[in-house]
Structure 1
Amino acid sequence: MFAIVLAIALAVIIYATSSWLSSSKRDTSYPPRVPSFLPWIGSTISYLSDPHRFLASCHKRYGPVFRLLLGGRHVIVVSSPAAIFAIYASDVAVPHFTHNQVFRAVIGRNEKLTKFNLERDVFPFLDQTFSRRALGDVTRPLAQMMYARIQHYARSQETQVSLMPALALPLFDALNIILFGDRFPSDIFDDFYILDNSMPKRLSGEPFWFLPSMQARKRILSQILDYIDGSNASENNGLIGTKFMKAFLQNDVCRHEAGCHLLTFQWGLHANTQGVLIWLFLFLLSDPIALTAIRGEVDGAMKEVFGDMQGFLADANPNNLDGPHFALLTSAIIETMRLTVKIMGLRVATRDFELKDGDKAIPVRKGEFLMGNVDAVHSDENSYPDNQKFVYDRFARGDQQEGKFPTEGKPWFSLGSGRHVCKGKYLSIYEVKVSAILYLHLFDITPIGGAPAPWWPLPPQRRVIGIPHAEEVLVQMRPRHGTS
């Protein structure tokens, strides 16, 4: 028996060694291949342990284009703005990170086979509801509801709170009511936070202690199912709730499966925006100059554009939230996204083609995967001097036209690009902007215990796929005199 085990072990070692040696010698043509010792697994372990550091080391050694083997997938990684834009604009490289993969990560299984199709049945009304022209129907009530939910902080001289729920909970509840109506469950935020904390490991397939996350998901889903059961045409189901119910009904989606789709949509709706909002305030709390400058801009705009807080609540529409009077705040939000939005989705080639990269062409075979290394672009010292620092006014001198992000001339892919731009690109910016205006104008927020910790750059072990989760930070919130 021992001899058999020893023989198998030797065979595995010989096979792995020969595979590594052959992979290190073959295919020296463009783009270069990153050698790996393990067959099929390839560089998966190194990548998952710290994806951004691993890709950075490969970029340094092999250049802006290279090939990887990740769990049986042959992946071409590109790190130039031209090549990344070409991937986003291509109709040949289709997204591999699909709704079903997010569904599986959130729910724990694949979607059940129905006639329901996200692109056909949901994307059209999301395009309409989340278009910049229509977002006044979201931003005005969002400002009003959030203002009502944070007024209790203004009734006490000083309040000690955890920064994350203080910022995220009012936004979470208000947006759900606007989009899904006042019957949508209002006490699921804590469970949503538990579920969201497990998502990096769920998405990457890492082992994790899953019981608290599963229990949280079960509690949320139970309340969403109650919402579905009570939905009818006469109820106020918000801007998109009724449209979701109609899509489920027309495609014979059972109630439980419909609840799973709504829960998956909830994660996509809230998680990344909450992360950007939290990191924006962490950066501002650690940079007194930035905080003072942006607060001064907000106070000035509150007076010059809106007159007072009541004017803001009445006219918090996209046109008034854009423009040069909020240039610093917009810049700080874009800069926060540059630093923290680390999503690098895979796309798979549907046929052989050549991917354009400036004056070069990258040969891509059908079935190969493409990854845009957004982190490398956002960390390029030529485009972004002091690239690991939060420079609040980095984009303030860009074009501040209404409805246009001030990123022209700089490579910026935090919300996607081309054919694969984020459906909620405007919504996410305006959510963060409305929240920041309210909190900065109404309150002084300071970390408890003196000078804040060095939150950024993150230590390597904190690197994750997506937006890194911030630490819990206790702060004191004090009303600012004469602003309520």
Structure 2
Amino acid sequence: MSFTAHMNGTLPFQDLWSPYFTEVQAYLPQSKSRLALLLLVNAPIVVILINALLQVIIPRKASDPPVIFHWLPIIGSAISYGNDPLNFFFACREKYGDVFTFILLGRKVTVALGPKGNNFILGGKSTVLNAEDAYTHLTTPIFGKDVVYDVPNDVFMEQKRFVKVGLSSDNFRTYVGMIEEEVEDFISHDPSFSVYQANDINEWGSFDVQKVLQEITILTASRTLQGKEVREGLDKSFSGLYNDLDAGFTPLNFLFPNLPLPSYRRRDKAHIKMSQFYVDIIKKRRENGHHGDPDMIEALMNQSYRNGKPLRDHEIAHIMIALLMAGQHTSSSSGSWTLLHLAANPEIAEALYQEQVKNFGTPDGKLRSMTYEELRELPLMDAVIRETLRMHPPIHSIMRKVRDDVAIPPTLSAPSEDSTYVIPKGHYVLASPAVSQTDPRVWRDALKWDPYRWSDPEGVAAQAFATYADENGEKIDYGFGAVSKGTESPYQPFGAGKHRCIGEQFAYLQLGTIVATVIRHMEIRIDSVPEHNYHTMITMPKTPRNISYRRRKFD
């Protein structure tokens, strides 16, 4: 009788083991190597069963959040989370509530959902819930030493203050025309828009929206923030460096930062060369005198820390790399989703075009260029961008590493009246604004892209944005200027708290100008909006993502 038969219960319990050991004893003299092979082959199954059994029989402490059941040790829930994090979170919430823990490749990650969860994690003290510990292994090889998460939090906050100097309204006023010119030049010369270039208003062409937006985003960012030397240096060699560096910005690099792989070596070599590229620009400017252009390099070259020490050249170079990499990913993703939804909703795209006709139309039927102030006063454009960021925030999960045992507030999720959950030192916590931004408990038709929801001054969207912006409320200065904390809002497209993105206003400017310029030159169509691709650090649309287009009649 085989062991399988015993496990299936075909023999009485008292007879289970005697025949089995008889079989084993008869087998051993024949072949110890076969037994070893048998044990080796079945070892993974045994480990999986033991892992499952331990989760069932070992009681959970009252102070521990519930742990998501998982079959695979170490791997835990990585597959479910990695394939579709939002569905994973919503499913877990239905069973365990707003607070739960899951295993992510050996890491214990406690999730706190909803506005209260976001407030607990994103509004938490950096001495306890720390961003540097969570991200430096990913960002430092790409951005470089002595900046962002490679420095103490107070130094990073000073560096953010330096960057804000370059994000002035005066600079923004010069950027709108630059971005518009770059977009028009791109669609007039890039092979992706050959039908447009043929000047045929009846023929339809198509383009890969993600590919096009990636190129447009880096062109417009280099023309504005990065400076003319960077824009002029956008040749094949720079593109190669960028691509090698960009290849290090993946979930694999986040989980395993130092694998002996060729892509990792290319990443490190690319960082050295790109850093030197910026340092050379800075040195030449110092030698020739600052040229006064309204770009970020110029702004950073004039900055000093509170202790009087000026920013060193390599720090400026690394901040510039950080701005290039982080901004390019988020803006190209948001721009792609915006055009995809407009292509799937041509009536809204047409209304967006008519908004421009109303505001920028000329007697000869053309559209004049926009100003920064005029771009800020386009209500439908503003609503389109807000709604796209609601449904497609670039980052779905924001993590912090726990530096000291921390209790989760009872108002968020208490196991009982007399106790609360405690997250131990060394674990991770995770907030997901993407969940609160698509939560059907908060938003009407949460998964429907509807820009007009932002037009209702009494609606959920307007209230959520007011809480996020908090223009008339108390501001907090984390070291880079007073900003709205925004951690209690269900709408947080640029994060919240001290790590709220300081490039928020530039992102609106860049995205709004790109979308407005595309819409004024062409009609766009697509049958349906693609699903999310969650296998990248920044949430991108899955392929195929080709948008059909044709040139506007009065372009």
Q: Deviations over 1:210-233 (max 9, x none)?
A: 768976986686466344324332
Given the alignment, which residue of 232, 237, 241 partners 2:297?
A: 241
Question: CA, structure 1 residues 482+216, in 2 after alignment: closer, same or farther (shift >3 Å)?
Answer: farther
1:459-470 residue pairs with structure 2 within 5 A?
A: 464-470=536-542
Query: Percent of counterpart pairs with the same letter?
Result: 16
Deviations 1:172-223 (A, max 9, x none): 2232132232111223457746764774344444799976897698668646
Distance across 2 between alignment mates of 1:155 and 1:12 = 60
Higher deviation after alignment, 69-78 or 25-34: 25-34
Cα offsets for 1:87-141 (capped at 9, x unmatched): 111113222575623325748xx85899976615631211332366864354454
1:105 and 1:396 map into 2 onto residues whose CA distance is 44
1:82-481 matches, within 5 Å, as 82-91=116-125, 92-95=128-131, 100-103=136-139, 106=142, 111=145, 119=156, 122-130=159-167, 135-147=172-184, 149-150=186-187, 156-158=198-200, 161-184=207-230, 185-187=233-235, 188=238, 192=242, 196=246, 199-205=249-255, 222=273, 225-231=276-282, 232-233=285-286, 234=289, 236=291, 239-242=295-298, 262-303=320-361, 309-310=367-368, 312=370, 316-317=371-372, 319-323=373-377, 326-341=378-393, 342-356=395-409, 358=411, 360-361=413-414, 363-367=421-425, 368-398=427-457, 406=465, 408=467, 411-441=490-520, 443-447=521-525, 452-458=526-532, 464-471=536-543, 473-475=545-547, 477-481=549-553
Structure 1, unmatched stretches of 5+, are none
- C-alpha spacing 1:155/1:360, structure 2 compared with 1 (3 Å): closer
Inter-CA distance 393–190: structure 2 relative to 1 (3 Å threshold): farther
Q: Is the 8 A contact 2:121 2:431 kept in 1?
A: yes
Across the aligned residues of Structure 1 and Structure 2, the Cα RMSD in angstroms comes to 4.3
Classify 1:209/1:50 alpha carbon distance in 2 versus 1 (closer, same or farther; 3 Å): farther
SS of equivalent residue, structure 1 residue 76: strand
Taking a change above 3 Å as real, the CA distance of residues 247 and 477 of structure 1, as seen in their structure-2 partners, is: same
User: What is the alpha-carbon distance in structure 2 between the residues aligned to residue 197 and residue 302 of structure 1?
Assistant: 41
Q: Of 45, 50, 53, which aligns to 1:21?
A: 53
* C-alpha separation in 2, matches of 1:197 and 1:291: 34
Describe the shift of the 1:444–1:254 C-alpha distance in structure 2 as closer, same or farther (beyond 3 A): closer
Q: CA deviation at 1:360?
A: 4.3
Comparing 212-221 with 155-164, greater Cα deviation is found at 212-221
Deviates more, 1:185-194 or 1:175-184: 185-194
In structure 2, the CA distance between the partners of 1:244 and 1:99, relative to structure 1 (3 Å rule), is farther
Secondary structure at the counterpart of residue 523 of structure 2:
strand
Q: Name the CA shift for 1:202/1:33 in 2 (closer, same or farther; >3 Å).
A: closer
TM superposition shift of 1:295:
1.9
- Counterparts of 2:147 and 2:226 in 1: how far apart (Å)? 25
Q: Relative to structure 1, is the Cα distance of residues 475 and 333 closer, same or farther in structure 2, using a 3 angstrom cutoff?
A: same
Contact 1:83 1:358 in 2 (8 A): no
User: Contact 1:374/1:413 (CA < 8 Å) preserved in 2?
Assistant: yes
Does the 8 A contact of 1:96 with 1:345 survive in 2?
A: no
Matches of 2:498 and 2:170, distance apart in 1: 20
Query: Residue 65 of structure 1 aligns with which residue?
Result: 99
Q: How does the TM-score come out when normalised to structure 1? A: 0.78
Cα 1:413–1:97 change in 2 (3 A) is farther
C-alpha distance 141-407 of structure 1, shift in aligned 2 (>3 A): same
Q: How has the CA–CA distance of structure 1 residues 389 and 48 changed in structure 2, closer, same or farther, with 3 Å as cutoff?
A: same
Q: Which is greater in Rg?
A: 2
CA-to-aligned-CA distance 1:216-266 (integer Å, 9 cap, x gap): 9866864663443243323547522245567899799796x9866644442
| Partner-residue secondary structure (3-state), 1:69 | strand
Q: Secondary structure at the match of 1:446?
A: strand
CA contact 2:183–2:518 (8 Å) conserved in 1: no
How far did 1:379 drift? 2.4
Q: How far apart, CA to CA, are the structure 1 residues paired with 2:402 and 2:146?
A: 26
- Unaligned 5+ segments in structure 2 are 1-31, 415-419, 469-488
Whole-angstrom distance in 2 between the partners of 1:245 and 1:5: 66
Moved more, 12-21 or 268-277: 12-21
In structure 2, distance between residues paired with 1:186 and 1:405 = 40
